[in-house]
Amino acid sequence: MPRFVPVADHGLLVEFVGDDAHHDRDEAAEGRANDAVVALDQAIAAAAIPGVVDVVPALVNLLVAFDPLVTDHVTVEAGVRSVLDGLVSVRRTPAVHRVPVCYDEAVAPDLGAVADACGLSTEAVIDAHLAGDYRVVMYGFAPGYAYLGGVRPEIQVPRKTSPVRGVAAGSVIIAGPQCLITTLTMPTGWSVIGASPTRIIPADPDEPFLFEPGDRVAFERISLDELPDPGGVEA
C-alpha cells in the first residue's frame, strides 16, 4: 500500500516509494512504482472523487490537489483508497509513438563523449539508443519535458558536472536510465546525442502534450536532410 502525506490544506501526496529508496536507487522498484502511479492517475480521473481538481503524476508518487472548501485530506484519502483495488481494470492501452531522431554530429555534440565513456563506437551507442524500451514516466522540469525511462544500461551516463547553455529545442538527451526531447532552448547537464523534429507540444489546446504517462516511444533513425526544424515550442 502507498503512503499518504498531507500537503498544505489542498493536497495529498500518494507515495509508492519513499525517500529511503532514493538513497540506494532501485530502478526496478521505481518502475513498479511508476506503473502504480500511472494506473492510479487514470483511476482517480475515472472515479471523479468529489472536490479533486487536479492530479499530478511523478516518477514514484502523485499529488492529488483538491478544493479545501469542498473536501479535506481525510475524505480525499478515503476516496483514493477506494479506487486502489480497481487499478488494473481502468488502465487504458498505452499509445505507441514512433519518434524520428537524427544522430548526425551537427546535432549530436555529446555522442562521441558518450561513446568514449561507455567504451563503445558511436554507431554502437546509436544502435543501443534505438533498441531502448522507452516508456513515458512523467512530465516535469519544463513545459513538455516528458521523461522516458528505458535507456539501455550500456549507454547510461551520469549528468555532466555543470550544465551547458543554449541547448536547442528538439534535442534528444540522455542521463542515467532516462531520455527526453527538449522543448525549449535552455541549459542542460544531460548528454545531447541527437535531434528530433517531433513536436511534444502540439498546437492543440485540447491535447496540450503529445505523450501521456504510460505511453511507449520507439525511436527511428533519420538523416540530417530529413530534419527540417527541430521540434518543440519554439519550432
Q: Give residue for cell 511523478.
A: 58
Claim to verify: residue 14 and residue 85 sit in the same structural domain = yes
Phi, psi for residue 9 in degrees, rounded to 5: -105, 10
Please state the domain count of the chain: 2
The predicted-structure confidence for 131-144, as pLDDT tens digits, reads as follows 999 999 988 888 88
Q: Are residues 23 and 112 in the same domain?
A: no
pLDDT tens figures, 95-153? 899 999 999 999 999 999 999 999 999 999 999 999 999 999 988 888 889 999 999 99
Of 217, 34, 37, give the one whose Cα is nearest residue 135.
217
Query: Same domain, yes or no, for 123 and 222?
Result: yes
pLDDT at 13: 95
Grid cell for residue 136: 513515458
Contact criterion met (CB below 8 Å) for 138 and 59 = yes
231 within some domain? no
Q: Find residue 162's DSSP bridge partners.
A: none
Torsion of CA 126, 132, 138, 142, to 10 degrees: 0
- Rounded Cα distance between 90 and 99, Å, is 27
CA 188 to chain centre: 16
Instruction: Convert the pLDDT of each residue in 46-75 to its tens digit.
Output: 888 999 999 988 888 999 999 999 999 999
Same domain? For 38 and 84 the reply is yes
Cβ contact 165:182 at 8 Å: no
Q: 8 and 63 share a domain?
A: yes
Residues 6+ positions from 224 with CB-CB distance below 8 Å: 102, 104, 106, 107
Q: 17-21, 92-96, 182-186 — which is least confidently predicted? A: 17-21
Three-class SS of residue 59? coil
CA distances from 7 to 14, 20, 33, 139, 143 (A): 10, 19, 20, 20, 23
| 82 and 197 both lie in a single domain | no
Question: pTM of the predicted model, to two decimals?
Answer: 0.78
Does 108 share its domain with 77? Answer: no
